[in-house]
């Protein structure tokens, strides 16, 4: 079981920006060695140099598009070739796309499904057996509060995050008592590049948190709470319970109201 991050080796996907970058910084500051993965090599190299200089930890970078089917295995082989046993897998890389479903390009649909669902599942499938054999490890999956209700105009994104929550919670149960902690983080709106990439207006961003606060919360909960899932922030928890207690039609009506003007404009 991982009781502290000191001396462990953690792999963080989506480490070039936002929540993943913030988690990598905290992990390095607590003595974890890192593998940073994302597409943008210069950003990863700059971050790696900074973390090595500041915290004297070992940091390797892997640049690749995880939405391409062969890349998760290449990342696994990258760690094996370097003799790295990954103790903590942080499946953080994820993207969204806002707009009408029928107007969403097939490339965007494939990228979302491949990155948010397939890469996360395949990476977990590749790294988990080693952790179970060593009886030491953790998988931290980043979902979203979008997972808790259908969201018109973000239909695929919200559904993909529902997969992440269900998958993580099932795996949490399978791995309990075997030295491996599976944990799912559900952030709400967080100030990162996510909304710009997804084409969501800043005006849709209510109750926004900083990436640093969300990352600190996630890593603390990973170590100290036994729960499979944690929602960041008081208002996000209120929204979660409101959605659970309301009739489904009302919930979808409300999420439609939140996103329809923007989603329709985008076509
Ligand atoms: N921000 C929010 O409001 C919010 C709320 C709930 C959940 N989340 C979740 O939090 C996670 C992190 O997002 P963020 O908010 O930190 O957004 P972000 O700043 O846009 O970071 C996304 C990260 O994923 C990487 N990435 C994107 N596409 C990739 C691909 N095809 N292959 C490999 N890496 C890829 C990006 O790096 P490159 O561009 O260099 O590849 C970047 O490092 C996501 O799973 C997101 O769904 C975010």
Tell me the residue range of the domain where 219 lies: 9-266
63 lines ligand 1 (CB under 6 A): no
DSSP letter string, 184-202: EEE--SEESSHHHHHT--G
pLDDT value for 207 = 77
Element (H, E) at 216: helix 211-224
Residue 237 belongs to a domain: yes
Q: Give yes or no for residue 255 CB within 6 A of ligand 1.
A: no
What is d(CA 66, CA 126) in angstroms, rounded to the nearest whole number? 14
pLDDT at 157 over 60: yes
Rounded distance from Cα 247 to ligand 1 centre (Å): 31
Q: Is residue 3 part of a domain?
A: no
> Number of folded domains in the chain?
1
Instruction: Tell me which residue of 37, 111, 12 sits closest to 67, measured CA to CA.
Output: 111
Give 33's strand partners.
9
Indicate whether 4 belongs to any domain: no
Q: Is residue 70 part of a domain?
A: yes
pLDDT at 66: 98
Query: Is 149 a residue whose pLDDT tops 90?
Result: yes
pLDDT of residue 203: 59
Q: For position 239, which CATH number holds?
A: 3.40.50.720
Q: What angle is formed at CA 167 by the lines to CA 139 and CA 253, rounded to 5 degrees? A: 125
pLDDT tier, 259 (very low <50, low <70, confident <90, very high otherwise): confident
Give the global pTM. 0.96
Q: Which atom of ligand 1 is nearest to the CA of 146?
A: 6
For ligand 1, atom 1, which residue shows the shortest CA distance?
190
Residue 128 lies in a domain: yes
Q: What's the whole-number mean pLDDT along residues 112-132?
A: 98
Mean pLDDT calculated for residue range 101-106? 96
Band of the pLDDT at 41, cuts 50, 70, 90? very high
Give a yes or no: residue 119 inside a domain. yes
Tell me if 1 is assigned to some domain.
Answer: no
């Amino acid at each position: 079981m991982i009781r502290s991050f000191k001396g462990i080796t953690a792999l963080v996907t989506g480490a070039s920006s936002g929540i993943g970058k913030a988690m990598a910084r905290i992990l390095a500051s607590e003595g974890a060695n890192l593998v940073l993965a994302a597409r943008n090599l210069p950003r990863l190299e700059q971050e790696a140099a900074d973390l090595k200089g500041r915290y004297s930890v070992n940091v390797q970078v892997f640049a690749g598009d995880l939405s391409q089917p062969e890349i998760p295995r290449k990342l696994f082989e990258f760690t094996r070739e370097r003799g790295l046993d990954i103790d903590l897998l942080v499946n953080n890389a994820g993207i969204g796309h806002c707009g009408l479903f029928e107007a969403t390009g097939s490339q965007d649909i494939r990228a979302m499904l491949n990155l948010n669902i397939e890469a996360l599942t395949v990476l977990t499938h590749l790294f988990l057996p080693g952790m179970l054999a060593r009886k030491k490890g953790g998988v931290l999956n980043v979902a979203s509060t979008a997972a808790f209700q259908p969201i018109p105009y973000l239909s695929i994104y919200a559904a993909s995050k529902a997969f992440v929550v269900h998958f993580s919670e099932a795996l949490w149960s399978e791995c309990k008592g075997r030295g491996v902690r599976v944990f799912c983080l559900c952030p709400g709106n967080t100030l990162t590049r996510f909304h710009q990439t997804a084409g969501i207006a800043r005006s849709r961003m209510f109750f926004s948190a900083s990436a640093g606060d969300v990352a600190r919360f996630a890593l603390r909960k990973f170590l100290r709470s036994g729960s499979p899932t944690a929602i960041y922030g008081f208002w996000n928890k209120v929204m979660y319970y409101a959605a659970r207690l309301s009739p489904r039609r009302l919930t979808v009506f409300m999420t439609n109201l939140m996103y329809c003007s923007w989603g329709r404009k985008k076509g």
